[in-house]
Structure 1
Amino acid sequence: MAYFSNPPLGDSLEQVYHRHHGWLYGWLWRKLGSREDAAELAQDTFLRLLSGKPADVLQEPRAYLRTVAHGLVVNHWRRRELERAYLDALAARPELETPSPEQRALALDALMHIDAMLERLPAKVRQAFLMSQLDGLTYARIAAELGVSERMVKKYMAQAMLQCLLLNIQ
């Protein structure tokens, strides 16, 4: 679907915002069930538009806004899911080991970076890495599961480990 046209159509960002913000907010509210989250993601959607293509070349503003907003909703849900899993893991720890709010924020940020890195990996590389790191499987077992050679699993692991090093999480 073409979201942009070559000749400008004349709508400024302000016009696009005034014409479509209410609709986008309503669409997000129905998706998220939260007025606060809908307002935040609507603003983020327009910020993406502001930093991307000029609004005056949008041919289908609602389709473009919905596509951008959908990506933000997916990221929002993924972040919530990671936060929930992290908080569940924290709840299982003894209270003396509970990290500070700052440590929690840093850990959640690191998890988001790791999740984004994993999503960018090719499927078999991601699967091999997770089977090794989370399930503790040997390379031979991973090779059998994925239907590839052990040598290929080593290549997959090297590729995944390189991406981990490139994350540069502090």
Structure 2
Amino acid sequence: MSIQEPMSQQSIAVLYSNHYGWLLGWLSRKLNCPHLATDLTQDTFLRIVGRKSLPDYREPKAYLTTIARGLLIDHWRKQEVERAWLETLAFMPQSLVPSAEEHMLVLEALYQVDMLLNQLKPKVREAFLLSQLDGLTYAQIAEKLGVGERMVKKYMAQAMLVCLSADSEYLP
């Protein structure tokens, strides 16, 4: 898909009017929830508005589907994170259950951690989690993953770089 056309309100309006109904239908079939389908349809077009240029229009449905599919995956991933958090809350003593505001802050932090972890290659992510959550040594991780200890060090370095780059986004 080559980027040729400069962003204009008219080009977005044409794309929107020609494909909004189709995209809404596609998302409605995927979600079985007309309200969420409407939200994700709007979010798809908002992503396009935020871009400096539009691709050529030979395959606008494929372009829209690609954006919408990414939003769907993000939505489903957030649902999984929220479901896991709610399961954790169910086992907490009532005195430790966070307030509504704290609950939302924790969920937002969990979403960010999930996004970071999903940037990592599977073995890098697994090595990082084995180290950070299970407290395994590099030798134990190497044995579990079937790689050398030197490779585990490389995996950990890659994971730490992602963490550091994310951390710098939040520094003033």
- Indicate the TM-score class for this superposition, using the shorter chain for normalisation: 0.7 to 0.9
Deviation (angstroms), 1:7: 6.5
Deviation (angstroms), 1:144: 1.3
Q: Equivalent residues in 2 for 1:39-58 (5 A)?
A: 39-52=38-51, 54-55=53-54, 57-58=56-57
1:108-132, Cα deviation, whole Å (9 max, x unpaired): 1111111111111222211101222
For structure 2, the 5+ residue unaligned runs are none
Q: Does 1:97 align with 2:96?
A: yes
Matched position secondary structure for 1:119:
helix
Q: Does 1:70 align with 2:44?
A: no
Which residue matches 2:21?
22
1:76-126, Cα deviation, whole Å (9 max, x unpaired): 000011001001101110111111111111111111111111111222211
Output the amino acid matched with 1:25.
L
Query: Which structure features the higher share of strand residues?
Result: 2
Q: Equivalent residues in 2 for 1:11-160 (5 A)?
A: 12-52=11-51, 54-55=53-54, 57-160=56-159
Distance in 2 of aligned mates of 1:91 and 1:136: 25
Preserved CA contact (<8 Å) 2:3 2:55? no
For structure 1, the 5+ residue unaligned runs are none
Matched position secondary structure for 1:12:
helix
Matched position secondary structure for 1:145:
helix
* Deviates most, 122-131 or 133-142: 133-142
1:119-165, Cα deviation, whole Å (9 max, x unpaired): 11222211101222333433212101222222321332233234334
RMSD: 2.3
Alignment: residue pair count: 167
TM-score normalised by the chain length of structure 2: 0.85
TM-score normalised by the chain length of structure 1: 0.86
Matched position secondary structure for 2:70:
helix
Output the amino acid matched with 2:129.
L
Q: Equivalent residues in 2 for 1:158-169 (5 A)?
A: 158-168=157-167
- CA gap of 1:28–1:53, structure 2 versus 1, over 3 A, is farther
Distance in 2 of aligned mates of 1:40 and 1:58: 24
Output the amino acid matched with 2:134.
D
Distance in 2 of aligned mates of 1:152 and 1:38: 43
Identity between Structure 1 and Structure 2 (%): 52
Deviation (angstroms), 1:71: 0.5
